[in-house]
């Protein structure tokens, strides 16, 4: 019983980076742009946030740094993919390589060794936090973790109940029609990609300042790519993404606990699990009916 609660308790914070990154990517993809650079944005922002937290001790400044890094990388990605209409699979990999390279470079030159910080502390919600089991699991987390879960209904509301959401969907489904109705396709796509990139930045910052409270080379180890896969798995819906994020963080948490408890399974095999699961998730989640029709297709006026 204690172990089950332990697994569930680590699972909640582990889901937060997935949620930020995957919901951000949901916005980008709903507008028709696949941003495969999420991993790179996460790495560089995780570094930036950690560096600021380490040197100033101000965690809010750390989050702000991550937001700025996310925004800048989002602008770069939009410029290449929307304005210059690049092949999105390739430009995303370029953004990843850039973010990874920069984070390694800056980590080596400015921090050097793996250090830890105190990071965001659990903030117990009054009353709810005192509930047995549930309170301990859900209402004794840090603020960035709460933020990640709050993001799910907010994103759902924005995408489904607002004019902005409708515009994002329309440029992802039929950019030519949206354009003829006077919607600025490029502007909506810039907005969606940048919003997604800012959230990817928060994902990185949450990881380095609220979940593991350290930075090391390749800290994210593929979580950004898994987050992109979660968007497919979740069928481009924030609620679906929530389900996927919980599933993956559960497996991650289980794997950590198995190592702690010394279950007789090779740790190498356990570490493979999330990656194998991602492929399985992609195999069984291809709900193509819900895929934005103009996904991965740059828009050019007067074409098609």
Q: In terms of CB distance, is 102 or 246 closer to other proteins?
A: 102
Q: Write out 269-296 in H/E/C secondary structure.
A: HHHHHHHHHHHHHHHHCCCHHHCCCCCC
End-to-end CA distance of the chain: 60
Tokens found for residue 195? 């919003």
Pairing of strands 140-141, 123-124: antiparallel
Q: How many CA atoms lie within 13 A of 46 on its CB side?
A: 34
Least distance to other proteins, CB of residue 285, Å: 9
Least distance to other proteins, CB of residue 157, Å: 28
Q: Of 86, 202, 231, 76, nearest to 143 (Cα)?
A: 202
Least distance to other proteins, CB of residue 40, Å: 7
Least distance to other proteins, CB of residue 270, Å: 9
Give, as one character, the DSSP assignment of residue 218.
T
Q: What angle do CA 170, 168, 155 make, to 5 degrees?
A: 135
Q: In terms of CB distance, is 57 or 89 closer to other proteins?
A: 89
Least distance to other proteins, CB of residue 119, Å: 25
114 conformational bin, left if phi > 0, alpha if psi -120 to 50, beta if neither = beta
Least distance to other proteins, CB of residue 15, Å: 19
Unique residue bearing structure tokens 């979940």: 211
Q: Which residues bind other proteins (CB under 8 A)?
A: 36, 40, 76, 79-80, 84-87, 89-102, 104-105, 108-109, 221-222, 225-226, 228-229, 232, 266, 268-269, 271-272, 275-276, 278-279, 282-283, 286, 288
CA 291 to CA 31: how far, in whole Å? 11
Tokens found for residue 271? 């570490």
Q: In terms of CB distance, is 100 or 156 closer to other proteins?
A: 100
Q: In terms of CB distance, is 97 or 123 closer to other proteins?
A: 97
C-alpha 253 chain-centroid distance: 18
Least distance to other proteins, CB of residue 66, Å: 18
| Exposed/middle/buried for residue 268 (C-beta within 10 Å: 0-12, 13-18, 19+) | exposed
Least distance to other proteins, CB of residue 215, Å: 14
CA 91 to CA 99: how far, in whole Å? 12
Q: In terms of CB distance, is 147 or 292 closer to other proteins?
A: 292
Q: In terms of CB distance, is 88 or 206 closer to other proteins?
A: 88
Tokens found for residue 116? 């830890």
Q: In terms of CB distance, is 213 or 287 closer to other proteins?
A: 287
Q: In terms of CB distance, is 107 or 191 closer to other proteins?
A: 107
């Amino acid at each position: 019983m204690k172990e089950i609660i332990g697994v569930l308790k680590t699972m909640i914070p582990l889901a937060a980076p997935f949620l930020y990154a995957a919901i951000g990517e949901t916005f980008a993809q709903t507008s028709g742009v696949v941003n495969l650079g999420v991993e790179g944005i996460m790495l560089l922002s995780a570094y930036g946030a950690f560096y600021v937290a380490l040197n100033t001790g101000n965690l809010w400044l750390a989050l702000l740094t991550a937001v700025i890094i996310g925004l800048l990388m989002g602008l770069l990605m939009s410029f290449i993919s929307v304005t210059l209409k690049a092949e999105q699979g390739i430009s995303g990999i370029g953004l990843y390589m850039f973010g990874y390279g920069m984070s390694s470079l800056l980590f080596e030159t400015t921090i050097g060794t793996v250090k830890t910080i105190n990071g965001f502390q659990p903030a117990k919600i009054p009353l709810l936090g005192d509930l047995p089991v549930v309170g301990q699991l859900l209402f004794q987390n840090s603020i960035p973790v709460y933020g990640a879960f709050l993001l799910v209904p907010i994103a759902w509301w924005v995408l489904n109940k607002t004019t902005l959401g409708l515009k994002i969907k329309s440029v992802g489904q039929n950019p030519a029609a949206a354009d003829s109705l006077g919607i600025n396709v490029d502007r909506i796509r810039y907005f969606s990609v940048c919003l997604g990139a800012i959230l990817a930045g928060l994902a990185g910052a949450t990881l380095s300042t609220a979940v593991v409270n350290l930075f090391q080379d390749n800290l994210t180890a593929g979580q950004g790519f898994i987050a992109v896969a979660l968007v497919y798995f979740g069928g481009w819906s924030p609620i679906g993404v929530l389900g996927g994020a919980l599933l993956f963080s559960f497996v991650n948490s289980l794997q950590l606990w198995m190592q702690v408890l010394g279950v007789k399974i090779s740790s190498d095999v356990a570490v493979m699990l999330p990656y194998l699961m991602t492929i399985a998730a992609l195999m069984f989640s291809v709900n193509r009916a819900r895929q934005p029709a103009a996904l991965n297709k740059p828009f050019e006026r007067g074409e098609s």
